[in-house]
Amino acid sequence: MFVYADNAATTAVSKTALDAMLPALGEVYGNPSSLHQKGREANYALMDARAAVAKCLNAEPREIYFTGCGTEADNWAITEGARMGAEKGKKHIISDTIEHHAVLHTLQKLEKQGFEVTYLPVHEDGVVRVEELKAAIREDTCLVTIMYSNNEIGTLQPVREIGAVCREKGVLFHTDAVQAVGHVPVDVVADHIDMLSLSGHKFHAPKGVGALYCKKSIRIKNFIEGGAQERGKRGGTEAIPSILAMAAALTDSCAHMQENMAKVSAMRDRLIEGLGKIPYSRCNGAPDKKAPGIVSFCFEGIEGESLLLRLDLAGICASSGSACTSGSLDPSHVLLALGMPHEIAHGSLRLSLCEFNTMEEVDYILQQVPEVVKTLRQMSPVWTHMLEKMPDPYQEG
Ligand SMILES: *Cc1c(COP(=O)(O)O)cnc(C)c1O
């Protein structure tokens, strides 16, 4: 059996997205800035796509700026939020310890430029506390950037409450919603969001296209200098085929949101229940505070990388943490932020599902993972050492 369970790293392009993209690659080849009929055709398609993306977020079309990826949207929003703050003498930013590196590394760059950043803890459940955010806001706080849904452990942050606090205090609020848009209902008005990042390839559009939502009253400046595209704020000829595919994929996700959420959550819950039966395993992040698709576990006494390789041989594509940090031997900053000791954080497994997965696949995963964990433990000196201090859970009787 082959199971793709790494949808938080990227998703397969859906038929809906492909059907929107192929005609655009073939026929809609005009440059939307051109005045002739081919240009107008592309421009109308672009306008429709912008309106479709806006509609899914409860935003206005002029509040949507297409970008090259989610990372670009994060960089743009945070850099601009900081610049606007600095103009008013405000150089304090609030974030948290489990953000994606697109956010963390942008914040580190700003720290080198003299900004001060407060990183809120996420506690054992993987969730920030609104009270702690309130207490952290100062006279000179210019920006709060807290993700909507975490890419490694799937926890949802209390975005609506965070937005309300920021609005009340007059602080700009950005959220990296790359793992949320297309997966859970996102409403920028009800959630009091000023800026939001999204990325197409996390909801079945192709890679290399994203968007920044920026509330119309906020005067962000250019991030990329160039032509008059995106109302002059993001130069570069628009990637029409990818943008049309993203709009179609998002419209499709939003139209089937409730049924997809129900289906994916049911598979997630079965996985959490089944993997929880493995001795000395821990589910990372509170199971009742999670977005539908992401399951993260640590298994004591084994290495996550060995587990991944064996699962790959069994036809299961999974991840040990975020795709962006795999390849490094450091344990994930997200698991460490939950208070997980280094040696346990090394034995992590992330399975991320989408609506194209099936219960049969979940059952196959639940048949394979316990076996592989057991085999790896029997080969592991760390596990042998652990057995000196505890009964062997694999010994009968
Ligand atoms: C994938 C991801 C990003 C980066 O998006 P790209 O389009 O790959 O640049 C940012 N934040 C989160 C939470 C993500 O999961």
Tokens describing residue 14: 């859906």
Q: pLDDT at position 35, please?
A: 95
Largest CA distance in the chain: 80
363: nearest Cα among 272, 270, 301, 265: 270
**For 268-325, where are the E strands, in sequence order?**
281-283, 294-299, 316-317
CA-closest residue to ligand 1 atom 2: 178
CA-closest residue to ligand 1 atom 12: 178
Gap between the Cα atoms of 179 and 202, Å rounded: 7
Among 153, 175, 179, residue to substitute to test ligand 1 (most atoms within 8 Å of Cβ): 179
For residues 129 and 157, the answer to whether their CB atoms sit within 8 Å is no
Gap between the Cα atoms of 306 and 302, Å rounded: 8
Sheet of 294-299: strand order equals 281-283, 294-299, 348-352
- Residues catalogued as catalytic: 324
Map tokens 């055709």 to a residue.
Answer: 41
For residues 94 and 118, the answer to whether their CB atoms sit within 8 Å is yes
For residues 53 and 67, the answer to whether their CB atoms sit within 8 Å is no
pLDDT digits (tens, 9 = 90+) for 301-313: 999 999 999 999 9
For residues 196 and 215, the answer to whether their CB atoms sit within 8 Å is no
Ligand 1: centre distance to CA 197 (Å): 9
pLDDT digits (tens, 9 = 90+) for 167-220: 999 999 999 999 999 999 999 999 999 999 999 999 999 999 999 999 999 999
Tokens describing residue 330: 């450091």
Ligand 1: centre distance to CA 270 (Å): 26
Q: pLDDT at position 118, please?
A: 98
Ligand 1: centre distance to CA 147 (Å): 11
> Cβ < 6 Å from ligand 1: which residues?
69-71, 74, 100, 102, 147, 151, 176, 178-179, 199, 201-202, 210
> Which residues, given as ranges, of the chain have pLDDT below 70?
321-329, 397
Among 178, 212, 242, residue to substitute to test ligand 1 (most atoms within 8 Å of Cβ): 178
Ligand 1: centre distance to CA 104 (Å): 12
Gap between the Cα atoms of 63 and 50, Å rounded: 9
Among 75, 76, 146, 199, residue to substitute to test ligand 1 (most atoms within 8 Å of Cβ): 199
Q: pLDDT at position 397, please?
A: 54
173: nearest Cα among 185, 183, 158, 184: 158
CA-closest residue to ligand 1 atom 5: 70
Phi-psi region of 301 (alpha: psi -120 to 50; beta: other; left: phi over 0): left
- The residue type of 103 is V
Q: pLDDT at position 8, please?
A: 97
- 159 phi, psi to nearest 5 deg: -60, -40
356: nearest Cα among 256, 208, 207: 256
